[in-house]
Amino acid sequence: MTDPDTGTAVERIFREEYGRLIASLVRRFGDIDVAEEAAGEALLVALEKWPETGVPPNPGGWLTTTAVRRAIDRLRREKVREGKHEAAAMIHDDSPHEPTGVIADDRLRLVFTCCHPALAPETRIALTLRLLGGLTVAEIAAAFLVQETTMAQRITRAKSKIKGANIPYRVPGPEDLPARVGAVLAVLLLIFNEGYLSAADGEPVRTELTGEAIRLARTLHELMPEDLEATGLLALLLLTESRRAARVREGVLVPLDEQDRGGWDRTLIAEGHGLVRQCLAANRPGRYQILAAVNAVHTDAPTAAATDWSQVVALYDQLARIDSSPIVALNRAVAVAELDGPEVALAIVERLPLEGYHAWHVTRAELLRRLGRSAESREAYDAALGVCDNTAERAYLTRRRGELVS
């Protein structure tokens, strides 16, 4: 009989240790399928034994040792059955003994494999959540609103590409590292954003995704503390997450200037501000560091009116110099409206080619409303609602539209 409490504890530990376990098994056996099967078997053994013996002092080490034994047993059996030498080669751990510093962490190798540029972006997200986050295929499928079989196929295909095309398990060399880290950070931000402004019908915020993105960003930052963009991304996620509780009220999105700032998470804000200060001290700004700094300005203001908008505009100016995308220009325009008035901002917004982007319509609607152009504002809210999927944001836009008198 399995004690349900111990069973839950085992599953929680397993989930926490999964990324490390899989990464170490992949390095040892050079094969993701072997690693996943062995990890699954180790979980079954733990579920059977731990309720009797108690959770061992080093559960991660216990799981790894057990999984390695199971994998070797399995490979030996297959070797005997097939009479092939191949399996013997896999049992032999011939990976060079590198210093055990953080950079040698197996998870770091695996995250670069999962976020490899030869894999499609949606595949990178799925693989990262599966192998490093330990989410089940069913959980990932539910988070991205696809059939479980579709997601299972996507992950299986990715694993066979990694194997067949020989995508390495390796931290890229210095010349490739910045671009490859960028790909990893982009995946983590996409996971977070999917959770924070979910397109799903149900929950407006999917905390399992935001939480997982933060956990992975934290791990990446621990593994590469000298990478300022990784620091910046973690700060960005923490400062965004800090406002989560105040961001949706009774199913309706609450915009930044109307949020109850007493409901913001001060612990996350303090941590985020500390990271932003590290970035500022290093003075090698990048995209995520700048976005984190913008969020630091907002979370630093005791009231919406006290926001240092000139600082926000200056940061977006800096970002626009390295990223000429119209979305950056749109965010900059929102800050310009606070500094130079809605008319100046609207002139900027009207020039941006973002008709398919709901935030563009929302920004136009708000600016037109402030300029007293109610009929045009209403049309802009209608257009925004036409391209917005998030339930809380839809509720907010509907409310705002309803407040227009004419």
Partner 1 sequence: MTQYLLTVHGSEEENAAVPESEWPELFAAVEAFNQKLQADGVWVFAGGLEGAETATVVDGQGDEPVFTDGPYLETKEHIGGFWILDVPDLDAALAYAASGSKACRGKVEVRPFQAEPPTDA
84 touches partner 1 (CB under 8 A): yes
> Of residues 5, 97, 99, 166, which one binds partner 1 by CB under 8 A?
166
SS3 of residue 338 by DSSP: helix
DSSP-derived letter for residue 131 is I
Sign for the pseudo-dihedral over CA of 298, 300, 303, 306:
negative
Helical (H) or strand (E) element with 401: helix 391-403
80 touches partner 1 (CB under 8 A): no
88 touches partner 1 (CB under 8 A): no
Q: Are 96 and 31 in contact (CB under 8 A)?
A: no
Least distance to partner 1, CB of residue 161, Å: 9
Q: In the range 195-254, which residues lie near partner 1 by CB under 8 A?
A: none
Q: In the range 289-308, which residues lie near partner 1 by CB under 8 A?
A: none
C-alpha span between 48 and 55 (Å, rounded): 11
Choice between 58 and 160, CB closer to partner 1: 160
76 touches partner 1 (CB under 8 A): no
Region of 113-121, 208-216, 284-292, 390-398 interacting with partner 1 (CB under 8 A)? 113-121
Residue 252 bridge partners (DSSP): 249
> Of residues 12, 76, 77, 170, which one binds partner 1 by CB under 8 A?
170
Choice between 177 and 339, CB closer to partner 1: 177
Q: Which two tokens stand for residue 243?
A: 């406002």
C-alpha span between 253 and 335 (Å, rounded): 20
> Of residues 59, 60, 172, 326, which one binds partner 1 by CB under 8 A?
172
Q: Tokens 């609602």 label which residue? A: 385
Q: Is 271 exposed, middle or buried (0-12, 13-18, 19+ CB in 10 A)?
A: middle
Closest CA to 8 of 46, 41, 38: 46
Q: Are 115 and 190 in contact (CB under 8 A)?
A: no
Q: Are 159 and 113 in contact (CB under 8 A)?
A: no
Number of residues that bind partner 1 (CB under 8 A): 15
| Helical residues (DSSP H) of 165-247, grouped into ranges | 177-196, 207-223, 228-241, 244-247
85 touches partner 1 (CB under 8 A): yes
C-alpha span between 91 and 71 (Å, rounded): 9
167 touches partner 1 (CB under 8 A): yes
Least distance to partner 1, CB of residue 79, Å: 11
Choice between 101 and 164, CB closer to partner 1: 164
176 touches partner 1 (CB under 8 A): yes
Least distance to partner 1, CB of residue 165, Å: 5
> Of residues 86, 257, 382, 389, which one binds partner 1 by CB under 8 A?
86
C-alpha span between 247 and 252 (Å, rounded): 8
Least distance to partner 1, CB of residue 130, Å: 20
Least distance to partner 1, CB of residue 4, Å: 45
Q: Which two tokens stand for residue 198?
A: 């979910």
Q: Are 75 and 67 in contact (CB under 8 A)?
A: no
147 touches partner 1 (CB under 8 A): no
Q: Are 204 and 248 in contact (CB under 8 A)?
A: yes
157 touches partner 1 (CB under 8 A): no
Choice between 179 and 327, CB closer to partner 1: 179
Choice between 162 and 188, CB closer to partner 1: 162
Region of 15-23, 78-86, 127-135, 184-192 interacting with partner 1 (CB under 8 A)? 78-86
Least distance to partner 1, CB of residue 23, Å: 18
Region of 57-65, 146-154, 161-169, 382-390 interacting with partner 1 (CB under 8 A)? 161-169
Query: Interface residues with partner 1 (CB under 8 A)?
Result: 83-86, 116-118, 164-168, 170, 172, 176
